[in-house]
Protein backbone atom coordinates (compact mmCIF):
# COMPACT_ATOMS: atom_id res chain seq x y z
CA UNK A 1 0.00 0.00 0.00
CA UNK A 2 1.29 3.46 -0.85
CA UNK A 3 2.15 6.08 1.76
CA UNK A 4 3.70 9.06 0.01
CA UNK A 5 2.70 11.82 2.47
CA UNK A 6 2.05 14.31 -0.32
CA UNK A 7 -0.98 15.42 1.71
CA UNK A 8 -1.61 15.38 5.44
CA UNK A 9 -1.83 11.81 6.72
CA UNK A 10 -3.42 10.97 10.05
CA UNK A 11 -1.83 7.87 11.56
CA UNK A 12 -3.51 5.89 14.31
CA UNK A 13 -0.64 4.94 16.62
CA UNK A 14 -1.07 1.47 18.07
CA UNK A 15 0.58 -1.75 19.15
CA UNK A 16 -2.52 -3.73 18.14
CA UNK A 17 -3.45 -4.02 14.47
CA UNK A 18 -6.90 -5.30 15.45
CA UNK A 19 -7.91 -1.65 16.02
CA UNK A 20 -7.72 -0.98 12.28
CA UNK A 21 -11.50 -1.02 11.68
CA UNK A 22 -12.07 1.41 14.56
CA UNK A 23 -9.19 3.59 13.37
CA UNK A 24 -10.64 3.70 9.87
CA UNK A 25 -14.10 4.55 11.16
CA UNK A 26 -12.62 7.35 13.28
CA UNK A 27 -10.97 8.94 10.26
CA UNK A 28 -7.40 7.61 10.23
CA UNK A 29 -5.56 7.50 6.91
CA UNK A 30 -2.94 5.00 8.06
CA UNK A 31 -1.72 2.95 11.01
CA UNK A 32 1.53 3.66 12.81
CA UNK A 33 2.32 0.17 14.06
CA UNK A 34 4.55 0.40 17.12
CA UNK A 35 6.65 -2.74 16.91
CA UNK A 36 8.42 -1.85 20.16
CA UNK A 37 5.14 -1.97 22.09
CA UNK A 38 3.70 -5.09 20.42
CA UNK A 39 4.05 -8.67 21.65
CA UNK A 40 4.86 -10.38 18.32
CA UNK A 41 4.79 -7.64 15.69
CA UNK A 42 5.96 -9.63 12.69
CA UNK A 43 3.35 -12.32 13.29
CA UNK A 44 0.68 -9.62 13.67
CA UNK A 45 1.84 -8.03 10.44
CA UNK A 46 1.65 -11.35 8.60
CA UNK A 47 -1.94 -11.76 9.80
CA UNK A 48 -2.97 -8.20 8.93
CA UNK A 49 -5.75 -7.87 6.37
CA UNK A 50 -6.88 -4.30 7.03
CA UNK A 51 -7.44 -1.58 4.45
CA UNK A 52 -5.20 1.10 5.95
CA UNK A 53 -1.51 1.25 4.99
CA UNK A 54 1.06 0.86 7.74
CA UNK A 55 3.91 3.06 8.92
CA UNK A 56 6.24 0.66 10.75
CA UNK A 57 7.97 2.12 13.82
CA UNK A 58 10.29 0.24 16.16
CA UNK A 59 11.22 3.04 18.53
CA UNK A 60 14.51 2.56 20.32
CA UNK A 61 14.73 3.07 24.08
CA UNK A 62 17.08 6.04 23.93
CA UNK A 63 14.49 7.91 21.88
CA UNK A 64 11.45 7.21 24.03
CA UNK A 65 10.53 3.72 22.86
CA UNK A 66 10.76 0.22 24.31
CA UNK A 67 13.04 -1.44 21.76
CA UNK A 68 16.57 -2.34 22.73
CA UNK A 69 19.39 -0.84 20.71
CA UNK A 70 20.41 -4.03 18.97
CA UNK A 71 20.50 -5.50 15.51
CA UNK A 72 17.20 -7.34 16.04
CA UNK A 73 15.32 -4.03 16.14
CA UNK A 74 16.50 -3.12 12.67
CA UNK A 75 16.14 -6.68 11.39
CA UNK A 76 12.43 -6.48 12.22
CA UNK A 77 12.04 -3.24 10.28
CA UNK A 78 13.88 -4.68 7.29
CA UNK A 79 11.49 -7.60 7.27
CA UNK A 80 8.48 -5.33 7.74
CA UNK A 81 9.07 -3.26 4.60
CA UNK A 82 8.75 -6.41 2.50
CA UNK A 83 5.09 -6.69 3.54
CA UNK A 84 2.61 -5.29 1.02
CA UNK A 85 0.70 -3.39 3.71
CA UNK A 86 3.75 -1.44 4.88
CA UNK A 87 3.92 1.82 2.98
CA UNK A 88 6.52 3.55 5.14
CA UNK A 89 9.07 3.00 7.87
CA UNK A 90 10.35 5.26 10.65
CA UNK A 91 14.08 5.45 11.40
CA UNK A 92 15.63 7.70 14.05
CA UNK A 93 17.97 10.39 12.76
CA UNK A 94 20.54 9.57 15.44
CA UNK A 95 20.60 5.98 14.24
CA UNK A 96 21.68 7.18 10.80
CA UNK A 97 24.29 9.81 11.59
CA UNK A 98 27.83 8.77 10.74
CA UNK A 99 30.06 8.27 13.73
CA UNK A 100 27.21 8.14 16.26
CA UNK A 101 27.35 5.18 18.63
CA UNK A 102 23.66 4.62 17.92
CA UNK A 103 24.57 3.69 14.34
CA UNK A 104 26.55 0.60 15.40
CA UNK A 105 24.08 -1.73 13.69
CA UNK A 106 23.87 0.27 10.43
CA UNK A 107 20.35 1.69 10.39
CA UNK A 108 20.97 2.79 6.81
CA UNK A 109 20.19 -0.76 5.76
CA UNK A 110 16.58 -0.19 6.78
CA UNK A 111 16.43 2.86 4.52
CA UNK A 112 17.90 0.83 1.66
CA UNK A 113 15.41 -1.97 2.23
CA UNK A 114 12.53 0.49 2.23
CA UNK A 115 13.70 2.01 -1.06
CA UNK A 116 13.98 -1.45 -2.56
CA UNK A 117 10.40 -2.20 -1.58
CA UNK A 118 8.94 1.17 -2.67
CA UNK A 119 8.22 2.24 0.91
CA UNK A 120 8.64 5.82 2.11
CA UNK A 121 11.11 6.70 4.85
CA UNK A 122 10.29 8.95 7.81
CA UNK A 123 13.43 10.07 9.62
CA UNK A 124 12.62 11.23 13.13
CA UNK A 125 14.15 13.25 15.94
CA UNK A 126 12.64 13.68 19.42
CA UNK A 127 13.56 16.10 22.19
CA UNK A 128 11.79 15.19 25.42
CA UNK A 129 13.34 18.01 27.44
CA UNK A 130 12.83 21.23 25.51
CA UNK A 131 12.19 23.03 22.24
CA UNK A 132 15.54 23.73 20.56
CA UNK A 133 16.34 27.10 18.98
CA UNK A 134 14.83 27.63 15.54
CA UNK A 135 18.16 27.23 13.77
CA UNK A 136 18.72 23.92 15.54
CA UNK A 137 15.26 22.66 14.58
CA UNK A 138 15.97 23.62 10.99
CA UNK A 139 19.19 21.65 11.24
CA UNK A 140 17.53 18.51 12.59
CA UNK A 141 14.88 18.57 9.87
CA UNK A 142 17.44 19.32 7.19
CA UNK A 143 19.58 16.38 8.27
CA UNK A 144 16.53 14.14 8.41
CA UNK A 145 15.52 15.10 4.88
CA UNK A 146 18.96 14.15 3.61
CA UNK A 147 18.15 10.56 4.55
CA UNK A 148 14.38 10.29 4.25
CA UNK A 149 11.29 11.39 2.38
CA UNK A 150 9.82 13.05 5.46
CA UNK A 151 11.66 14.72 8.32
CA UNK A 152 9.86 14.29 11.64
CA UNK A 153 10.55 16.54 14.62
CA UNK A 154 8.85 16.17 18.00
CA UNK A 155 9.88 18.63 20.69
CA UNK A 156 8.68 19.52 24.19
CA UNK A 157 7.05 22.91 24.59
CA UNK A 158 7.16 24.84 27.85
CA UNK A 159 5.11 27.79 26.57
CA UNK A 160 3.43 29.19 23.49
CA UNK A 161 6.67 30.79 22.29
CA UNK A 162 8.08 27.31 21.82
CA UNK A 163 4.99 26.35 19.84
CA UNK A 164 5.29 29.42 17.61
CA UNK A 165 8.95 28.64 16.93
CA UNK A 166 8.07 25.11 15.87
CA UNK A 167 5.24 26.27 13.62
CA UNK A 168 7.48 28.88 12.03
CA UNK A 169 10.10 26.29 11.11
CA UNK A 170 7.37 23.98 9.80
CA UNK A 171 5.99 26.73 7.58
CA UNK A 172 9.44 27.58 6.24
CA UNK A 173 10.02 24.01 5.11
CA UNK A 174 6.55 23.83 3.59
CA UNK A 175 7.25 26.97 1.56
CA UNK A 176 10.34 25.21 0.21
CA UNK A 177 8.19 22.27 -0.87
CA UNK A 178 9.80 19.86 1.59
CA UNK A 179 7.86 17.27 3.57
CA UNK A 180 8.12 17.54 7.34
CA UNK A 181 6.04 16.27 10.24
CA UNK A 182 6.18 18.35 13.40
CA UNK A 183 4.52 18.43 16.80
CA UNK A 184 5.17 19.73 20.30
CA UNK A 185 4.67 17.34 23.17
CA UNK A 186 3.19 18.38 26.51
CA UNK A 187 0.22 20.55 27.39
CA UNK A 188 1.79 23.83 26.23
CA UNK A 189 2.26 22.40 22.78
CA UNK A 190 -0.73 20.12 22.52
CA UNK A 191 -2.57 22.42 20.11
CA UNK A 192 0.29 22.12 17.60
CA UNK A 193 -0.90 18.61 16.79
CA UNK A 194 -4.01 20.18 15.28
CA UNK A 195 -2.47 23.44 14.06
CA UNK A 196 0.83 22.21 12.56
CA UNK A 197 -0.95 20.68 9.51
CA UNK A 198 -2.20 24.19 8.66
CA UNK A 199 1.45 25.21 8.37
CA UNK A 200 2.47 22.20 6.32
CA UNK A 201 3.07 19.29 8.69
CA UNK A 202 2.38 16.12 6.71
CA UNK A 203 1.78 13.53 9.46
CA UNK A 204 -0.34 13.45 12.59
CA UNK A 205 -0.26 10.74 15.25
CA UNK A 206 -3.12 9.79 17.54
CA UNK A 207 -4.47 6.76 19.44
CA UNK A 208 -7.93 5.40 18.71
CA UNK A 209 -8.57 5.33 22.46
CA UNK A 210 -7.16 8.28 24.45
CA UNK A 211 -6.02 5.84 27.14
CA UNK A 212 -3.60 4.29 24.63
CA UNK A 213 -1.65 7.46 23.83
CA UNK A 214 1.96 6.78 22.86
CA UNK A 215 3.21 10.34 23.46
CA UNK A 216 2.38 13.23 25.78
CA UNK A 217 -0.41 15.51 24.59
CA UNK A 218 -1.91 13.32 21.89
CA UNK A 219 -5.55 13.74 20.91
CA UNK A 220 -7.51 10.65 19.96
CA UNK A 221 -7.98 9.94 16.24
CA UNK A 222 -11.57 11.15 15.98
CA UNK A 223 -10.81 14.41 17.78
CA UNK A 224 -7.66 15.15 15.77
CA UNK A 225 -9.45 14.34 12.51
CA UNK A 226 -12.20 16.81 13.35
CA UNK A 227 -9.82 19.55 14.48
CA UNK A 228 -7.52 19.25 11.47
CA UNK A 229 -10.41 19.18 9.00
CA UNK A 230 -12.02 22.21 10.64
CA UNK A 231 -8.81 24.23 10.62
CA UNK A 232 -7.53 23.44 7.15
Active-site pick, 152, 160, 171, 178: 152
Binding-site entries for 3-dehydroquinate:
13, 32-34, 59, 193, 214, 218
Reduce the secondary structure of 43-83 to three states and give it as a string.
Answer: HHHHHCCCCCCEEEECCEHHHCCCECCCHHHHHHHHHHCCC
Active-site pick, 83, 118, 126, 178: 126
Binding-site entries:
13, 32-34, 59, 193, 214, 218
Residues ≥6 apart with Cβ < 8 Å to 212: 13, 14
- On whether the CB atoms of residues 175 and 148 are closer than 8 A, the answer is no
Spatial separation of the C-alpha atoms in residues 171 and 32, rounded to whole Å: 24
Distance of CA 221 to the CA centre of its chain: 15
Residues ≥6 apart with Cβ < 8 Å to 16: 38, 44
Is there a catalytic annotation at residue 126? Answer: yes
- Spatial strand order of the sheet with 120-126 comes to 180-185, 150-156, 120-126, 86-92, 54-57, 30-34, 9-14, 203-206
- On whether the CB atoms of residues 48 and 40 are closer than 8 A, the answer is no
Reduce the DSSP state of residue 201 to 3 states and report it.
strand
Positions marked active-site: 126, 152
Amino acid sequence: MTLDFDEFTLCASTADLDVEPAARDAGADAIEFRFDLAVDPLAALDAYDGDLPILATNRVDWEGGDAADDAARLDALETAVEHDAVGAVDVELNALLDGDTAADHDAARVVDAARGNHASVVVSYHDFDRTPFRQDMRGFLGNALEHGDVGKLAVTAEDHTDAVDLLTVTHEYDLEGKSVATMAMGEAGRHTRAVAPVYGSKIGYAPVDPADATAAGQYDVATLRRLVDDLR
